[in-house]
Structures are given as C-alpha cells and as structure tokens.
Amino acid sequence: MSHPIFLRVGTESHIDLSMFVDSVRDFLHILKDVDATVSENQHGSVKWKVDTLEKQDAAVIGVIPYPRKPFIDSSHFVEEQIIENTNLLSSKAERTKYLSDRALERIGKMAHRTETIGPMAIWTPSNGRPKQETAITKDTLRNIVELTGPKYSGFGSIAGSLDEISVHKSNEFRVWDRITQKPVRCMFSHEMEEKVKDFLRRDVVVVGMMQMNNSGAPLSMKVDELMLAKPDPNFLSATNLCGVIKDFTGGVSLKQYLEESADE
C-alpha cells in the first residue's frame, strides 16, 4: 500500500507565494527524479497526487503515490531514498547512487530558500512502519556546495558504469566511479551520442578534462574519449572455465558424476 510523503515549506506563518510554489515544484521534481532512477525508467513508476494541503505553523503539503501500470510500486523506496539522502546532505557532503545531479540541484535550491523562510522538513508518517523524517537547512546547502563545487581541474580518466543519459538541456551522462563510488557528470559531443547509447549500463573508461573537489575526487568531465573498459584478466567466465580442470568427472558424464556425488 502506498504511503504519503509530506513537505513543510519553511517555518514562517507567511511566506512569498513564489517561494511556496517554487519549493513545491522542486519537491515534485525530486520525487520524479529519484523515482526515475530507482525504476530505471525516465517516466518513473508512479504518479504523485496531492493528498493534504494545510496550514499549521507553516504551510504543509502531502502527496501520495499511485503506481503506473505495469510497474511494481517502489514508492516506499523512493521516499526512503529522498529522506536518507537529505539526512546525509544535512550532516556531510555525501549522497547515494539514487540521487541524481538534477535532484541534488533541486535540494540545493530548497536549502538556499531556508535562509529566508527557515528550515524545511520532509517526512513520512508511521502507518505501521517507523516514522521517517529529515530537514533541509543551511547545513544542507553548505554540504551541497562542498560536494558540487569544483576546486581543481586537470586532464585525466575515470572508469566505472555508464548510466543516466540526458539530452534535455545538454548532452551528458553519469559514470559511477569505481574508486570513489560516486557519480561523475560527463558532458559529450553530439558525435558521441550513438556510442554513449550503445555503452549504457556497461563498464567504460572516460578520458577528458575533469573538475575535481578539494579532495581530488572527480565531479564532472568534458569527454574527449569514451571506450569500453577491459575485462578483469583475473576473471574467468563460465565458457572460459571449460577444460580448465582435465578429466574433472573421471570419464563419466556430468549428470552421472553429480548423481554419484549426491549419493556419497
């Protein structure tokens, strides 16, 4: 069963209408972006409908997910990821793989407004499971700036899994860096588009000019070259395992060997 998720827009009794509308819009985009990442479908797996709109000490809106056929309802995991990532960003400059760059940017916009209207809150009620809640504050904004703000640039390469291609405003994709286990935003030319599509969800090596944070971890890259990563030489596929051990079954068929082994 789907459960609602709530947003409190600041802590002030009266705020500018534009700030309320922009915050709700950002909240919706975060829900949709995380849903698209979790479901691995650009349109997402659920529709979000208004369930509650009320005024307590501050404006509160609650939305409830409705699964879209033929998708499995993963809204509970989407809500958990939003709360988990917001908690992470409020304590340190980290996020999980389910929070895209676009969703991170939206949380940053909401965090920036807290300087004017006070901290925001996101929560899900108990409803048979533990209540989950988080806050968007000035600390959230500071950690997002630390996470996304480039400190150094240099030519280099990264290796990892290519996912989340976007051609909406610019041509870019994400690579989940093997070393840092963090996503790296990669901008590519139109000429690379077909290759990028062919390499989706495959291990790649990307070469180009990188922007890095103060720890030297890559944040983004302008791609000069893209290639498939070479397979691990220590890894043997099932096909390559054939014949590695000579006369493994002692001359009998594999079926007979397994039946005799089971009887022992």
Predicted local distance difference test score (pLDDT) of residue 193: 92
Distance CA 99, CA 204 (A): 21
- Please tell me whether residue 204 adopts helix, strand or coil conformation: strand
pLDDT < 50 stretches in the chain: 235-245
Predicted local distance difference test score (pLDDT) of residue 101: 83
Q: What angle is formed at CA 9 by the lines to CA 18 and CA 31, rounded to 5 degrees?
A: 95
- Please tell me whether residue 13 adopts helix, strand or coil conformation: coil
Predicted local distance difference test score (pLDDT) of residue 244: 45
Predicted local distance difference test score (pLDDT) of residue 258: 54
| Single-letter amino acid, residue 63 | V
Predicted local distance difference test score (pLDDT) of residue 212: 87
Predicted local distance difference test score (pLDDT) of residue 262: 52
Predicted local distance difference test score (pLDDT) of residue 172: 93
Predicted local distance difference test score (pLDDT) of residue 149: 77
Q: What does pTM read for this prediction?
A: 0.65
CATH superfamily name and code, 152-228: Nucleic acid-binding proteins (2.40.50.140)
Predicted local distance difference test score (pLDDT) of residue 113: 96
Distance CA 214, CA 158 (A): 17
Distance CA 105, CA 83 (A): 15
Helices marked H in 210-252 — which ranges? 238-241
Look up residue 135 and give its two tokens.
């806050």
Listed in order, the ranges of the chain carrying CATH 2.40.50.140 are 152-228
Predicted local distance difference test score (pLDDT) of residue 64: 95
